Amino acid sequence: MPDLTVRMTMPQFRFVTTNAPHPLFVGGYGAGKTHAAVYRACYLKQKYPNLNVAYYLPTYDLVNTIGFPQFAEVMEQLKITGKILKSPMPCVKIGAGMIIFRTMDTPERIIGYEVADSLVDELDTLPTDKARDVWSKIVARNRQKKADGCENTIGVATTPEGFKFVHEMWVANPKPGYEVIKAPTRSNARNLPEGYVDNLRDIYAPQLLEAYIEGEFVNLTSGTVYRDYDRVRCGSNERIKEKEPLFIGQDFNVGQMASVVFVRRQSCLHAVEELTGVYDTPELVKIVKERWQSQGHAIYMYPDASGGSRKTVDASKTDMAILVAAHFSIRAHATNPAVRDRILSVNGAFAHAKVYVNAQACPETARCLEQQAYDRNGEPDKRAGHDHLNDAFGYVCHQEFPVIRLMKLIKIGGML
């Protein structure tokens, strides 16, 4: 096998040599994503000389302008003997097998061949539905059997383009074998011209720099509302314990009731359960009673204050009155806090390590916190449906960690 250590950055080396069946190399501009993917393709082709590898790029133009030149350069560096063929099928002929090029602009043409391993370059540039279609077809092509019994692999190298297919598969809902390897631009600094990163900083807005320099998944259309939430730093493994009190943030919406359930650990709160799609307040009460109150949990509700005057059910009782009648302890002001204050409370609680989210138990809450953006008027966007769980989350944070207390503690240099 060729010696790769002197030619590669540490993230590139990890991506090339990992045994994970579905590694993701996610990096900023200039992090060497395509080089890493080409190195991995050549590495796998040398490891299994009689089998085929597929290499996918968004368009055929990129096959010509990026794919062929990159393979020619890497093959020369690694002293790999082979021939690049542009027709009738674009490929690199190495030994008894091939590295086959395919594009992702027409998923229906990903047919008619078999490979042992695949590399997918810039998958996140595709629309989510198209990326999902491409992925399923690539999986179907990966079926050549390896003599050593190892799994077929599909490696992805991409710039993060918001919360799309790659984030969904590798971050939000990862399955076993889906490994994330992050590569900020600075990891490849030795191969970049001086001033490259500074030039990027002059061009891009702050949230774009997180994606295009740090290789982070961020909302690319506008500023993220809950900018201090990070699913790793703010992550939790806590679950509900026997008969402990539960603190439930509640947003009222007919057919879209949203609840976030917290537990207390010392002076911190951990979101450990969520309820979505509950039809109305009576159904919510039924679920909470059966699932938790009947098991000895004291229930503390932090509802939308407007529930004192509105109804999600055609009856004489208001939503708040229904919660009181269920013997839940109510923690709410007469009116809702200003939206700005609620957002500040949530971000402050995240920034000062006072609130955490179990993203496995609360996947929709984690997704909404990551993805809600500001609209053109500078208000939290409500069109994408990310607001209901975030509002429920915010009612608890505003009660427990109000912005006035946060400001006082920051002013005196203290921590929450």
Q: Confidence class of residue 205 from pLDDT cuts 50, 70 and 90?
A: low
- Maximum pairwise Cα distance, the chain: 81
DSSP for residue 408: H
* pLDDT over 60 (residue 14): yes
Q: Confidence class of residue 133 from pLDDT cuts 50, 70 and 90?
A: very high
* pLDDT over 50 (residue 29): yes
pLDDT on residue 311 = 58
Q: What residues does 23 pair with on adjacent strands?
A: 179
pLDDT tens, residue by residue, 141-163 = 999 999 999 999 999 999 887 78
Q: Domain spans of the chain?
A: 10-212, 246-411
The DSSP-derived string for 113-180 is --BSEEEEESGGGS-HHHHHHHHHHHHHHB-PPPTT-PPPEEEEEE---SSSHHHIIIIISPPTTEEE
pLDDT tens, residue by residue, 308-328 = 555 566 554 788 889 999 999
* pLDDT over 90 (residue 102): yes
Query: By C-alpha distance, which of 17, 27, 13, 82 is closest to 49?
Result: 82
Q: Can you read off the two tokens belonging to residue 134? A: 């491409």
Distance between CA atoms of residues 81 and 89, nearest Å: 19
Strands 268-278 and 257-265: what pairing?
antiparallel
Fold of 246-411: Nucleotidyltransferase; domain 5 (3.30.420)
Between the alpha carbon of residue 388 and those of residues 309, 345, 384, 409, 414, the distances in Å are: 18, 17, 10, 29, 32
The DSSP-derived string for 351-407 is HTT-EEE-TTT-HHHHHHHHH-BB-TTSSB--TTS-HHHHHHHHHHHHHHS-HHHHH
| Cα angle 290, 393, 277; round to 5 | 50
What is the rounded average pLDDT of the residues 9-23? 95
**pTM check: above 0.75:** no
195: left (phi over 0), alpha (psi -120 to 50) or beta: left
What is the rounded average pLDDT of the residues 218-227? 73
pLDDT on residue 375 = 75
CATH number of 10-212: 3.40.50.300
